[in-house]
Amino acid sequence: ACGTPSAGVSNGVIAAEQKLGKTWMVLDLIVSVASDGVWLESFPVERPGPVVAFLGEGGDRKMLRRLRAIAKAKSVELESLPIHLCMRVPHLTNSEHLDEMHQKVNEIPPSLVVIDPLYLAARGAKGSDLYAMGEHLEEVQLIAQGAGAALVIVHHWNQTGQGDGAGRMS
């Protein structure tokens, strides 16, 4: 049950209210990791390499347009980068989706796995139930960890307006 830890690999969450740039932030991260660049013009990438990203909002054209704009701003050619996109997120309780994700991650293997957004991936889970969310997230964490990849999940703050900072995450 303990498994082998992935040295130097971290998991993270990018969370904020709607329309505050979460997807732009994660797209910048994707290009930065794939190009051995600097994330948000401030944070040098410590472990560059291929990226597998599951993007569920915005549509193919919009995401590619944004990725090209970010790559151009970083003076790199998007098509030359080891970025592997899936324009839908896996449902974290669907064994077929998880098998496909596992297969893709093993095929690459990436330095970074991205899921954007969590609310589509964790459908049916109650965000305020920590144990239920743990069940939803454990398998995807193990898939990324097994490949030695960092996992970043994009999440919306709750819409109640209650709480501060991380307390706003449901």
Residue-level pLDDT at 137: 84
Q: Which residues of 86-98 are buried (b: 16+ CB within 10 A; e: fewer)?
A: beebbbbeeeebb
pLDDT, tens only, 25-73? 999 999 999 999 999 999 999 999 999 999 998 888 999 999 999 999 9
Residue-level pLDDT at 169: 47
Residue-level pLDDT at 125: 67
Q: How far is CA 57 from CA 9, 120, 128, in A?
A: 26, 9, 22
Residue-level pLDDT at 10: 77
Across residues 11-26, what is the average pLDDT? 83
What token pair was written down for 127? 């965000």
Across residues 144-164, what is the average pLDDT? 76
Q: Is 20 left (phi over 0), alpha (psi -120 to 50) or beta?
A: alpha
pLDDT, tens only, 75-86? 999 999 999 999
pTM attached to this predicted model: 0.85
Residue-level pLDDT at 11: 79
Across residues 137-145, what is the average pLDDT? 90
